[in-house]
Amino acid sequence: MDSRKQQVITLYQQLLDAWNHQDARSMADLYTEDGEQVGFDGSQVIGQAEIYAHIAPIFEHHATARFVSKVKSVRFLSDDVAVLRAIAGMVPCGQSNINPNVNTHHTLIAIWTGGKWRIVLFQNTPAQFHGTPELAEQMSAELRALL
């Protein structure tokens, strides 16, 4: 695998690891200064400071489910801009299976700056598949196989 591609995948894994460990500081630090995050509920936060301020209270007041994900593609728009696409599910605390109601598509745009990859945009889009429940079950099965 191309080392740049692996570096972008590692950046994405670091983002999910920070979420899974409820580490808002590490999570925010993966973004550029003006990086953006669009949450599952449509909330949009811009900049490292705002991302941290948005995520830290969630971790302080909730036992968040952990992400399980599968990278579907990494494309390079140029030598220093990459787009990663993944699917993800969440395993609620104390459980061993994903909750298919919160399956999601992840899109991450990263840039190479200062000698490392940083997140410019991370979007967490609900995978509801209205009218096509077979697609929702297919995604759930693909994610369950990772557990």
Intra-chain end-to-end CA distance of the chain, in Å: 24
Q: What is the pTM of this model?
A: 0.94
Q: What pLDDT score was predicted for residue 1?
A: 73
Would strands 81-91 and 44-46 be described as parallel, antiparallel, or unpaired?
unpaired
pLDDT in tens, 64-89: 999 999 999 999 999 999 999 999 99
Query: Would you tell me how many other CB atoms lie within 10 Å of the CB of residue 90?
Result: 22
Residue 69 backbone dihedrals phi, psi, to 5 degrees = -140, 165
DSSP state, residue 102: G
**What distance separates the 2 farthest-apart alpha carbons in the chain?**
45
Reply yes or no on whether the pLDDT at 92 is more than 90: yes
Residue with tokens 């099965």: 141
Q: What integer is the mean pLDDT of 8-37? A: 98
- Domains, the chain, in order of start with CATH, read 3-19+30-103+119-144 (3.10.450.50)
